[in-house]
């Protein structure tokens, strides 16, 4: 089933597809992956999974600063103090583009949103918690290659020079050393994707990257109202979640991989050996 309509949590008129089965879901995740220019399957999308459909595309900073008149000020205080206290454990210089991913990774509210290059990793986060199997989940697909066409000229030039669809800290530092410089690159909001340095195995295993918008006061859901063709939303119905969870386990996409270390092993085992639903609740 394919429909176009309003997402209840973000108001953006993006294409919404309801997955009917594991196979149908895989077909949707890899739709459009063929790249004729290089004769390879290379999806233009990055992915973000949510266990409920009302989770939305709201950043941690926006949630913290809801109602605040100066979200820029809150952002500056958060990042400055995180850097001040975190230097005892990590040294990254003064670059905001190196500190922001680390801060986001450790739970600081920032303007970043977590995404992944892997559709199956994103799908794991849709079905991670069995206690939420009673509610529909949601998987976002965002065409980051096409959104780059809307970037300010200076950023497009850097991406073209590097032959890249996503930005590194060094690439952004060459154009906008500070967040204030970044926000002034255009009068119109824009979105790009930042690939963090491989500081931890968790970042590597999750194929992680982050969306960055050019103002902490603008949310990606707001931006998509003007650019609905750059994203798709796949609804994962509650009744499909158990099958997806079991098949992801068999492919090795589990907490053991995505949260390296003993904590991840414990999380995986606690879920994996959770008693199954009653036999009479299984699909025929």
For 104-161, how does the pLDDT look when each residue is reduced to its tens digit (9 = 90+)?
A: 988 999 999 999 999 999 999 999 999 999 999 999 999 999 999 999 999 999 999 9
Q: Quick one: tokens of 108? A: 């600081």
Q: Tell me the two tokens of residue 3.
A: 């429909």
Q: How would you classify the pairing of strands 34-35 and 40-41?
A: antiparallel
Kindly report, residue by residue over 220-276, the tens digit of the pLDDT: 999 999 999 999 999 999 999 999 999 999 999 999 999 999 999 999 999 999 987
Residue ranges making up the domain that contains 143 = 2-62+76-272
Among 200, 183, 230, 225, residue whose Cα is nearest residue 76 = 183
Question: Is the model's pTM score more than 0.85?
Answer: yes
Say how far apart CA 128 and CA 114 lie, in whole Å.
16
Report the half-sphere exposure of 206 (CA within 13 A, side-chain side): 28
Quick check: 18 pLDDT over 80? yes
pLDDT digits (tens, 9 = 90+) for 222-231: 999 999 999 9
Is residue 68 in a domain?
no
Does pLDDT of 187 surpass 90? Answer: yes
Q: Is 251 exposed, middle or buried (0-12, 13-18, 19+ CB in 10 A)?
A: exposed
Instruction: Give the C-alpha distances (Å, rounded to integers) separating 29 from 85, 158, 226.
Output: 41, 29, 23
Beta strands in the chain (DSSP E): 2-6, 13-18, 34-35, 40-41, 45-50, 113-116, 137-143, 191-194, 208-213, 231-236
Is 192 domain-assigned?
yes
On the question of pLDDT at 182 being above 90, the answer is yes
Q: What is the pLDDT of residue 69?
A: 63
Strand-pair partners of 114: 210
> Which percentage of the chain shows pLDDT scores above 90?
70
Phi-psi region of 175 (alpha: psi -120 to 50; beta: other; left: phi over 0): alpha
- Torsion sign across C-alpha atoms 88, 91, 95, 100: negative
Q: Is residue 18 part of a domain?
A: yes
Residues 6+ apart with CB under 8 A from 66: none
Q: Is 7 inside a domain boundary? A: yes
Q: Is residue 12 part of a domain?
A: yes
Residue 282 lies in a domain: no
CB 213 within 8 A of CB 219: yes
123 inside domain: yes
Total of domains in the chain: 1
Residue 281 falls within a domain, yes or no?
A: no
């Amino acid at each position: 089933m394919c429909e176009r309509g309003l997402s209840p949590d973000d108001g953006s008129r993006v294409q919404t597809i309801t997955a009917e089965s594991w196979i149908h879901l895989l077909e949707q995740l890899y739709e459009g992956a063929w790249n004729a220019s290089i004769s390879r399957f290379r999806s233009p999308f990055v992915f973000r999974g949510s266990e409920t459909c009302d989770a939305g595309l709201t950043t941690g900073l926006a949630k913290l600063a809801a109602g605040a008149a100066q979200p820029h000020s809150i952002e500056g205080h958060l990042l400055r103090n995180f850097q001040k206290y975190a230097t005892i454990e990590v040294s990254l210089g003064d670059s905001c583009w190196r500190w922001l991913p680390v801060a986001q990774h450790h739970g600081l509210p920032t303007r970043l949103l977590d995404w992944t290059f892997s559709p199956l990793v994103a799908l794991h986060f849709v079905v991670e918690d069995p206690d939420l199997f009673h509610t529909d989940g949601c998987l976002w697909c965002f065409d980051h290659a096409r959104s780059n066409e809307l970037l300010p000229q200076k950023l497009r030039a850097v991406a073209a020079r590097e032959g890249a669809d996503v930005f590194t800290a060094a690439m952004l530092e060459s154009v906008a050393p500070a967040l204030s410089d970044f926000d002034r690159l255009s009068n119109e909001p824009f979105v790009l994707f930042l690939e963090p340095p491989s500081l931890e195995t968790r970042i590597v295993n999750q194929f992680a990257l982050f969306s960055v918008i050019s103002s902490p006061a603008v949310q990606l859901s707001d931006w998509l109202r003007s650019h609905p063709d750059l994203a798709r939303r796949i609804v994962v119905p509650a009744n499909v979640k158990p099958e997806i969870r079991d098949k992801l386990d068999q492919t090795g996409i589990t907490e053991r991989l995505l949260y390296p270390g003993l904590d991840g092993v414990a999380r995986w085992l606690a879920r994996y050996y959770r008693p199954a639903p009653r036999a009479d609740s299984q699909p025929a």
